[in-house]
Amino acid sequence: MNEMTDFQNTDPQNEGYPQLSPADTGWTDEERQAMRERGFDDMDILKAWLS
């Protein structure tokens, strides 16, 4: 990627890092819902996926 493309795909507020969401994990909707029912919030889901 070139610098212009990188710039267009990032938000200045997150210092050039791509923003992740629980939908970016490899888990299905059912798995994410089960995690939420066990008390996980979106940040917990992302932390578990990244670890």
Q: Residue 29: inside a domain, yes or no? A: yes
Q: Residue 1: inside a domain, yes or no? A: no
Q: What stretches in the chain show pLDDT beneath 70?
A: 1-17
Supply the pLDDT for residue 8: 54
Supply the pLDDT for residue 18: 74
- Distance (Å, whole) CA 36 – CA 12: 30
Q: Residue 38: inside a domain, yes or no? A: yes
What are the tokens at 4? Answer: 């212009």
The string of pLDDT tens digits covering residues 4-17 is 444 455 555 666 66
Q: Residue 31: inside a domain, yes or no? A: yes
Q: Residue 10: inside a domain, yes or no? A: no
Domain extent at residue 42: 24-51
| 24 φ/ψ angles, rounded to the nearest 5 degrees | -80, -10
pTM of the model: 0.59
Q: Residue 6: inside a domain, yes or no? A: no
Supply the pLDDT for residue 51: 86
Structural domains of the chain, count: 1
- Distance (Å, whole) CA 26 – CA 50: 11
